[in-house]
Structure 1
Amino acid sequence: MNNEEERAFLEAQLQWIKQRDAVLAQIEKKLYEMKHIAEQVAADETALLESQKHRLNERFLQLKDEVAELENQLRIFYN
């Protein structure tokens, strides 16, 4: 492998890492939001109205699905 090929390979690897890092950052953001929802429900369980609990649960499930989709993207990047 000559210097130009090695450089191209390393640049491709850097782009791959940047893409994975961006996906991981999105996952981290969603996990923190899920944590916040769980803490809110745990702290205010008796004070929350059923409609509020339902809304928070729906958002939590939505975030869970979004995290799963992002994890699938990581698998695609890896293969």
Structure 2
Amino acid sequence: MTNEKDERVFLEAQLNWVKQRDALLEQIENRLYEMKHIAEQIASDVDSMTESEMHQLNERFLILKTEIAELESRLHIHYN
């Protein structure tokens, strides 16, 4: 009886761990798609953009890059 309970607790913990990793990966994916959109926007509109617009997009891109690094570090923390 105790062995089944221990196994259930273990499996529930594993399921929770997988759900947490999945949520982090989804957040990373969302930011990567936004970065892709920014890169495509710059590539297609570079001649018509003002310096201010380019600066704003670059700033957003760098923020997303930082957020991804933070999420990735949380992903590794959950892994260990």
TM-score scaled by structure 1?
0.98
Q: CA deviation at 1:67?
A: 0.2
Q: Secondary structure of 1:46's match? A: coil
Q: CA deviation at 1:39?
A: 0.2
Deviations 1:10-54 (A, max 9, x none): 000000000000000000000000000000000000010000000
Equivalence for 2:43:
42
Equivalence for 2:23:
22
For 1:27 and 1:75, the matched residues in 2 are separated by 13
For 1:47 and 1:26, the matched residues in 2 are separated by 31
Instruction: Indicate the RMSD between aligned Cα atoms, in angstroms.
Output: 0.8
Equivalence for 1:31:
32
Unaligned runs of 5+ residues in structure 1 are none
**Structure 1 vs Structure 2: percent identity of aligned residues?**
65
Equivalence for 1:70:
71
For 2:24 and 2:5, the matched residues in 1 are separated by 29
Q: CA deviation at 1:70?
A: 0.2
Q: CA deviation at 1:74?
A: 0.5
For 1:23 and 1:8, the matched residues in 2 are separated by 23
Equivalence for 1:51:
52
For 1:74 and 1:62, the matched residues in 2 are separated by 18
